C-alpha cells in the first residue's frame, strides 16, 4: 500500500521531508519504506552547503518523525524523545533519492521505537538510526537528569557574527549560530541561538493552529548544537575539508521550545583523533535543560570524497 506524503503544514517542520511512503506490513510491528529526493530548492537546503547541496543528517530524523506521524494517524505531530544511535555513512547530494526502510513498534504509553536503514538510489548505505518518538504527553513527561546547572555567564569571548560566517560552511537560513558567548579553544564552547517566529520552519503553517504546533523542531535544535560543536572543533586547528556529522548517540529531549526562546548550547570535546572529533553537551532554554547529547561524532572529509561530481570529473 502506498501512502501520500505527510501534510507538514499542520506543524512546525523545516521541510517536507518525505515524498512518498510504501507500507510493507502492519501488526504489532509496522514496516514501511519512505522515499525522499534531495531537492536543492527545499527550505533550508540553499545554505547547506553553498555550492554543494548535502542533505543534513538531522533531516533524516525529520523524515522519520513526519512519516511515523502519518502512519499512526496521530492528531498531534510526534516528536523525537531520544536518538539512541544514528550513523551517517555516505553523503546525500542534490538529486539523490534516499530510501529509508523503517520498523516501528510500541515502546510504552504514547511512545514508539523506530529503527531505520537508509540507502541511496545506487544501493550505497547512507544512514542507520535507532530512535524513540512520542506524542505530546510523552514529550512533556520527559525530564532531564537532576543536578544539571545552566552554563555560567562570562568567559573568554569567541568570534563575532562575521567571524562565525568566516568559519562555518553554512549560510542563511541554515546558519543556526547567533552568538558565541564563550570559547575555551579546543575544550569548551557556549553558543546562543534565538528562535524567531519568522524562521522558515513556521512559514508554511496553516492559520489558526494551536500553540502546541509551534514547538521548535528538535531536529533543528540538534543541528544548531552540531554547528556550535563544529566551531569548537575548528578552534583546535585540526579540522580540514568538509565537516560532517558521522554519528549521534544518546541524544535526549525535554519539554517544549517555542518562538521567543533563546537556546544556549554548551559543548565540550571528549576526544580528538585524526580527522574526527567526539563531543557531548547540553542545550538550555533559560534555566530549563531541553536537550542532552551523549555523543556527537564529527568527521572532516576532503571535498572530493563528499562531492561525487568532482570525483566523476577527475
Residue pLDDT, tens place only, 104-149: 999 999 999 999 999 999 999 999 999 999 999 999 999 999 999 9
Q: Is the pLDDT of residue 100 over 80?
A: yes
DSSP letters spanning 112-175: EEEEEEEEETTS-EEEEEEEEEE-HHHHHH--PPTT--PPPS-------HHHHHHH-S--TTT-
147 contacts: CB under 8 Å, gap ≥ 6: none
Q: Which residues on neighbouring strands pair with residue 247, listed in sequence order?
A: 87, 297
Distance CA 110, CA 134 (A): 5
pTM of the full predicted structure?
0.94
Q: Would you kindly state where each structural domain of the chain is located, as residue ranges? A: 2-142+154-313
DSSP letters spanning 198-222: TSGGGTTPPTT--GGGGPPPHHHHH
> Is there a contact between 41 and 89 (Cβ–Cβ < 8 Å)?
no
Look up residue 301 and give its DSSP letter.
E
pLDDT recorded at residue 304: 72
Weakest mean pLDDT among 174-183, 241-250, 276-285: 241-250
pLDDT recorded at residue 314: 44
Phi–psi pair at 73, nearest 5 degrees: 65, 40
Q: Record the cell numbers describing residue 272, joined without a space.
A: 580528538
- CATH of the domain spanning 2-142+154-313, picked from 3.10.129.110, 3.40.640.10, 3.30.70.20, 3.40.50.720: 3.10.129.110
Weakest mean pLDDT among 3-7, 45-49, 184-188, 193-197: 3-7
pLDDT recorded at residue 297: 97
> Is there a contact between 297 and 83 (Cβ–Cβ < 8 Å)?
no
> Is there a contact between 292 and 144 (Cβ–Cβ < 8 Å)?
yes
Q: Is the pLDDT of residue 176 over 90?
A: yes
- Tell whether omega for the bond before 63 is within 30 degrees of 0, i.e. cis: no
Distance CA 91, CA 311 (A): 13
How many residues does this entry show for the chain?
314
Distance CA 35, CA 44 (A): 19
Q: Is the pLDDT of residue 5 over 70?
A: no
State the chain's mean pLDDT as an integer: 92
- 3-state DSSP: the chain helix, strand, coil percent, rounded to 5? 20, 40, 40
User: Residue 312 — pLDDT band, cuts 50, 70, 90?
Assistant: low
Distance CA 106, CA 117 (A): 19
Amino acid at each position: 500500500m502506498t501512502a501520500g506524503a505527510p501534510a507538514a503544514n499542520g506543524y512546525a517542520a523545516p521541510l517536507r521531508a518525505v515524498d512518498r511512503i510504501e507500507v510493507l506490513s502492519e501488526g504489532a510491528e509496522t514496516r514501511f519504506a519512505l522515499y525522499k529526493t534531495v531537492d536543492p530548492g527545499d527550505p533550508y537546503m540553499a545554505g547547506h552547503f553553498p555550492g554543494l547541496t548535502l542533505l543534513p543528517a538531522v533531516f533524516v530524523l525529520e523524515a522519520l518523525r513526519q512519516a511515523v506521524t502519518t502512519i499512526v494517524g496521530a492528531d498531534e505531530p510526534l516528536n523525537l524523545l531520544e536518538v539512541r544511535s544514528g550513523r551517517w555513512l555516505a553523503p546525500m547530494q542534490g538529486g539523490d533519492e534516499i530510501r529509508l526502510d523503517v520498523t516501528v513498534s510500541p515502546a510504552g504509553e504514547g511512545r514508539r521505537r523506530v529503527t531505520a536503514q537508509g540507502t541511496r538510489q545506487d544501493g550505497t548505505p547512507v544512514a542507520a538510526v535507532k530512535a524513540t518518538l512520542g506524542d505530546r504527553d510523552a514529550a512533556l513527561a520527559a525530564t532531564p537528569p537532576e543536578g544539571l546547572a545552566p552554563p555560567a555567564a562570562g568567559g573568554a569571548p569567541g568570534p563575532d557574527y562575521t567571524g562565525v560566517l568566516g568559519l562555518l560552511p553554512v549560510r542563511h537560513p541554515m546558519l543556526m549560530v547567533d552568538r558565541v558567548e564563550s570559547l575555551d579553544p579546543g575544550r569548551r564552547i557556549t553558543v546562543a541561538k534565538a528562535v524567531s517566529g519568522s524562521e522558515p520552519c513556521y512559514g508554511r503553517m496553516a492559520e489558526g493552529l494551536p500553540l502546541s504546533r509551534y514547538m521548535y523542531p528538535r531536529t533543528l535544535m540538534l543541528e544548531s548544537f552540531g554547528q556550535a560543536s563544529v566551531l569548537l572543533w575548528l578552534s583546535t586547528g585540526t579540522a580540514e575539508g568538509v565537516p560532517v556529522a558521522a554519528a549521534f548517540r544518546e541524544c535526549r529531549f525535554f519539554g517544549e521550545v517555542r518562538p521567543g526562546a533563546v537556546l544556549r548550547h554548551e559543548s565540550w570535546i571528549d576526544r580528538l583523533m585524526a580527522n574526527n572529533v567526539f563531543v557531548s553537551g547540553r542545550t538550555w532554554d533559560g534555566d530549563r535543560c531541553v536537550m542532552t547529547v551523549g555523543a556527537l561524532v564529527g568527521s572532516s572529509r576532503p571535498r572530493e570524497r563528499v562531492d561525487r561530481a568532482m570525483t566523476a570529473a577527475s
